Structure formats: structure tokens, C-alpha cells
Amino acid sequence: MARIQLKRGLKANLPSSSMLAGEAHFTTDRGTLHVATGASVSLPIVPAVDDLTTLASIDGAADLILVHDASEAAGQKEKKITFNNFKTALNIPAGTTDEKVAVVSGGTAGYIFGTDGTDGILRMNSSMLMTKDASNGFVTLAVGTVDCGTF
């Protein structure tokens, strides 16, 4: 029985000349496949992103995101991470899809205003008032009394 054998080697050593159209090259360090289209041109084999089916929804615990790990010195640079773990790495609390901020690095993320102006990460005392506009585009701070203290 005849067999097909692919040329193989490191990605850095992929040929750039004297290739035959249709010739396949497998990278042993990255696990990628490249096919020559001419003597000096080859194309990596990847799915056409615009031809892929669109996800209707995301299962954060099961669905995966593909990340290119630029810090990886050798071997497979592409890594997988669940959607939930990716959100955790970005300090986005579970169960939310909105952008939030934290008071300090690594602190619990929350909304600046909160739900009513008293439970956000920025809270006013009785001499100040914080109100948001109806379209949630901005917050207005109103100061009733400014007490600079005594000396």
C-alpha cells in the first residue's frame, strides 16, 4: 500500500523557495500545517473565520477561548482557557457581562455608581449626592457642604 509522507521540521525552518505547489509541511514544534501554493509561497492551514458558525450563546464553564501565548519560548504557543477563567483573569465577576472596576489592583470589581448610588465602589456621605442620568451615560456629583475643618 502506498503511503503519504509529509515534510516536517521546525517552524523557523519552513522553506521559502524551491517548493512544489501542493507540497505540505508540518511543523513539529508548533503543530501547524502549511501547504505550498507555488515555488516561494505557502499558506498555513487555518479555518476561514468568516465561514465558521456563530455561537448562539456561551457556556462559560465549558466553552473555550484560544489564546496565543507570546511568552512561550518553545513548543505549542496556542493555549486554551474557559470563558469563565478568562473573565476571572480580567477581574470580571462571575455572572456579569458588564465592565466593572476595582478600587485597588486585585480588589473586588464593582460598578462605580452601584444600583442606587449608595452601594457602588464610590459612595457618598450625607453632605454629597451622586445621581446618574436616565441613559446611564454619566454621574453628577453635588456637594452640599464643604467643611475644611479647624486648626
Q: Which residues of 68-89 are buried (b: 16+ CB within 10 A; e: fewer)?
A: eeeeeeeeebeeeebebeebee
Rg for the chain, CA atoms, rounded: 27
Percent of the chain predicted with pLDDT > 70: 95
Fold of 7-47: Seminal Fluid Protein  PDC-109 (Domain B) (2.10.10)
HSE at residue 5, side-chain half, CA atoms within 13 A, is 5
pLDDT greater at residue 44 or residue 111: 44
C-alpha cell at 113: 455608581
Domain limits of the chain?
7-47, 58-89, 94-151
Q: How far apart, in whole angstroms, are the C-alpha atoms of residue 45 and residue 106?
A: 40
pTM of the complete model? 0.49
pLDDT of residue 62: 94
Q: In this predicted model, what pLDDT tens digit does every residue of 31-72 receive, in sequence order?
A: 889 999 999 988 888 877 788 888 899 898 999 999 988 888
Window from 31-35, 94-98, 147-151 with minimum mean pLDDT = 94-98
